[in-house]
Amino acid sequence: MRRDESAEGQDRSSTYLAVAVAALAGSLVWLRYHSESPDPRLFAPTDLANYYYPIADLVGRRLAAGEVPVWNPASCSGIPLLASLQAAVLYPFTWLSVFLPTADALWAGLWVQVLMAGAFTAAALRAGGVHWAAAGLGGVFYVQACLLGNLIWPPSVATMTWLPLLWLCVEKLVRQMQFGWWAALAVATGLQVLAGFPQYLVYGFYWLVPYAAILVATRVPRGARAARSLWMLLAVVLGVGLAAAQVIPTLELAGESARGGGLTVADVHYLDPGTLPAGKILANILDPEPKNPTFDLKAGTGYLGVASVFAVVAMLWLRGRSLRTAYLLAAGLLALLLSDGFLGIASPLFRVYHELPTGGLFRTPERLRFITMICFVALASGGLDALLRHRAERRPVALVVVMCLVAVVVVLAGGPGVGWRTLVAVLLVLLLLLGPPLFVAAGAWPRTVVACAWVAFVSLDLWLATAPAGVLHAYPRQLSERYQAAFKSARIEDAQLAGLLATPGFARVEPHGFFPFNAAGGAYGLHRSACYEPLSPAQWRSLSEVLSPESKLRGGIANPNPEQRPVFYDVAAVSTIVRPRRGAAILQVNHDALPRAYLVEAATQATQAEAFVHIRDGTFDFHRGVLLEAEVPASPANPRPATAARILAHEAERVKIAVHAERDAWLVLTDTFYPGWNAEVDGERLPILRANGLYRAVRVSAGDQTVVFSYRPTSFRAGVALSCVSALAICAIAAAGRRGRFNGGGTE
């Protein structure tokens, strides 16, 4: 018993040490990475400033006000917010913006999550039996290869953070069924879903599910395998259920979006000019010159240091016959082949993959390299572990020769600066291969010294190679605030901005050709008609294809040229068009803009496609009538022109409108038509029809009345109920399991 307790204590101490190494080395790389000025040749995170920062600012303001932000009225004429997923409204790290300024909250959240990801990876590797130094280095590898380059997109980092914890839970549950780790697996799954980037969530499970199956098949007693697998599957299912308040509205939005009809080749490869073909990955990995340390951007491949190449070779040589090694190698290569999508040498294979249930959901197949990098991390860490555990009686001559040949290839294929790195790496490898007799004679400390030297060398290599990349420095407050002074960079003066914010009648303002799509900072509160959302109601994608077929923005509508498509701005209630100039911005007043809410007496039945053609060609008088998709009563002989309705209150999820109609008419509210919106007059429900292919219209009778539009999505209420049920089930099962009511399929 004392020996078991001693071994368990040593194992726990080694795990703590591995986690500490990962956190310390990761922090050093991070700090250096943040301290340098950015290299102007490298990628600038405009999407972060133009899209994510203002969304985070909007969510933070509303959460601080005690509201659940389910709808965003300021973009795309109104669009689901919570359901868009990348806003991550229900993700705990998002709530930091309640207490901190948005830029500080994003920075603090990323910092903590990066360290957590490194620590989880180190603990997962250690739980799999990897030496503490190799496990700690694996944590640094994961941060370097997968997270740092993705700091330009916080939901990516947030989603990647939790995969190593899932990995750790699987390793623990394979070793012994403990319901504390079972509950951790469920909670980690829920957090990964809430984090906001489903592409990496799905790719992570692509990798983890076969890996877990291999562990169960090789480490769990035969009679317990089925039960252990079912318990882990139940944890994942309940974890998804835990996030149902987010998942169900997102699935509803996905069904209402262009994604519901599948992605075309053009959609999948919309960023191709900026990506790196898979065939150049290996050469770039060996190049320590400054680059974006990520796997889906131009010149970015997740550089892991020259020494890691030798570690992978050692893993393949010393442990190449194991099923785990074979899987890591095969999965990494397969993901790399698929990552070129329809345009690579494996395009026939990708076409098969694209037809699978999840294969056609996502753009940018380059992100499949996430799987490649995870496999590389596991192989490199396992290789160092194999070298550290190399026994004296095993003849290393053949492997020494192989390592020398690899060194020659690395020097010839690598870029400037690779020579001295290769020399140091080879010396460390030779010490581990040829030094076992010395280690046996002197005890464990020489091996520990070499292990620490390896960790220090690789950390220094990563520090020197990626510090100038500059992706992270472009992130903090300076860039965000510079972009999100919003209309400042469009040369709009304070007085002009104040006037726009006070625009009467809730009319919209559209900065033509100007980002960001969501106003933050001093421009917070402005409403616009255009937007960019990866998931947006399909009518916006369809309208964009009609008005701006040349646009590359496939997630919403690019604001068209007002001279070419003036009717759109009239229909969308855009009263002011901002044109940025080198001097002061030009504010073009649109006198023909319809009010945000108005009454018309005439209606004509038309499909959505017909309505969009009328908007494009100006072949319908929208000031005297409305196009509806349903059958409509006959219009009066002499219909009056549109008259403004008075908006009494316009909140995110509630719009209150006072109506005075001389005779029966249609009330048109130029906010996006979407399921979950209800309209009432004196408590009586009114059916909402799609107006002009985009907006909402209700039939009102003659007289004075008040119409209230409210957003109460059934999907959100059902999701909240399911989340609560899942949370109770996780707690109940975990508690019962800890009291011994379940055996979980036995233990080893």
Q: Tens of pLDDT along 86-108?
A: 889 999 999 998 998 887 888 78
Q: Residue 645 pLDDT > 80, yes or no?
A: yes
Secondary structure, 3-state, 221-277:
CHHHHHHHHHHHHHHHHHHHHHCHHHHHHHHHHHHHEHHHHCCCHHHHCCCHHHCCC
The whole-number pLDDT of residue 564 equals 87
The whole-number pLDDT of residue 389 equals 84
d(CA 680, CA 708): 5
Q: Residue 33 pLDDT > 70, yes or no?
A: no
Asked if 698 and 688 touch (Cβ cutoff 8 Å), the reply is yes
Average pLDDT over residues 454-468: 78
DSSP per residue, 106-154: HHHHHHHHHHHHHHHHHHHHHHTT--HHHHHHHHHHHIIIIIGGGGGSH
d(CA 346, CA 342): 8
| Ranges assigned E (strand) in 401-546 | 508-511, 531-532
Q: In the chain, how many H helices and how many E strands?
A: 26, 19
Q: What are phi and psi of 424, to 5 degrees?
A: -65, -45
Which pair of tokens denotes residue 369? 């390299």
- Residue of 744, 608, 638, 635 lying closest to 699 (CA atoms): 635
Q: Which region holds residue 451: left if phi is over 0, alpha if psi is between -120 and 50, else beta?
A: alpha
Q: Give the confidence band of 470 by pLDDT, cuts at 50, 70, 90.
A: very low
The whole-number pLDDT of residue 680 equals 94
Q: Give the confidence band of 666 by pLDDT, cuts at 50, 70, 90.
A: very high
Q: What is the pLDDT of residues 238-273, one digit of tens each?
A: 999 999 999 999 999 988 876 666 677 777 877 665
The whole-number pLDDT of residue 474 equals 44
The whole-number pLDDT of residue 10 equals 60
Residue 294 three-state SS: coil
Residue 441 three-state SS: helix
Q: Residue 463 pLDDT > 80, yes or no?
A: no
Q: What is the pLDDT of residues 707-721, one digit of tens each?
A: 999 999 999 999 999
The whole-number pLDDT of residue 2 equals 44
Range with lowest mean pLDDT among 17-26, 344-353, 632-641, 696-705 = 17-26
Q: Of all residues in the chain, what percent carry a pLDDT higher than 90?
A: 41
Q: Which region holds residue 227: left if phi is over 0, alpha if psi is between -120 and 50, else beta?
A: alpha
Q: What are phi and psi of 585, to 5 degrees?
A: -70, 150
Average pLDDT over residues 338-342: 87
The whole-number pLDDT of residue 294 equals 63
Q: What is the pLDDT of residues 116-169, one digit of tens each?
A: 998 999 999 999 999 988 998 898 889 888 887 777 788 999 999 999 999 999
Instruction: Find where tokens 């050692």 sit.
Output: 314
Task: Report the sign of the C-alpha dihedral through residues 315, 318, 320, 323, in that order.
Answer: negative
d(CA 673, CA 66): 26
Instruction: Find where tokens 């294979």 sit.
Output: 349
Average pLDDT over residues 210-219: 94
The whole-number pLDDT of residue 747 equals 47
The whole-number pLDDT of residue 30 equals 60
Determine which helix (DSSP H) or strand (DSSP E) holds 332, and give its type and residue range. Answer: helix 323-338
Q: What is the mean pLDDT of the chain?
A: 83
Q: Residue 32 pLDDT > 60, yes or no?
A: no
| Ranges assigned E (strand) in 606-694 | 625-628, 643-644, 646-650, 654-661, 665-669, 677-681, 684-686, 689-691
Q: Of all residues in the chain, what percent carry a pLDDT higher than 70?
A: 80
Average pLDDT over residues 689-693: 95
d(CA 648, CA 660): 13
Which pair of tokens denotes residue 354? 């694209």
Determine which helix (DSSP H) or strand (DSSP E) holds 604, and give its type and residue range. Answer: strand 602-605
d(CA 266, CA 649): 42
Give the Å distances, CA to CA, from 567 to 590, 605, 720: 11, 19, 41
Residues sharing a CB contact under 8 Å with residue 230, sequence separation 6 or more, in sequence order = 745
d(CA 344, CA 353): 13
The whole-number pLDDT of residue 120 equals 93
347, exposed or middle or buried, with CB in 10 Å at 0-12, 13-18, 19+?
Answer: middle
**How many other CB atoms are found less than 10 A from the CB of residue 37?**
8
The whole-number pLDDT of residue 81 equals 92
More confident residue, 276 or 318: 318
Q: Residue 417 pLDDT > 50, yes or no?
A: yes
d(CA 117, CA 370): 14
Average pLDDT over residues 420-437: 84
The whole-number pLDDT of residue 3 equals 43
705, exposed or middle or buried, with CB in 10 Å at 0-12, 13-18, 19+?
Answer: middle
592 DSSP 8-state letter: T
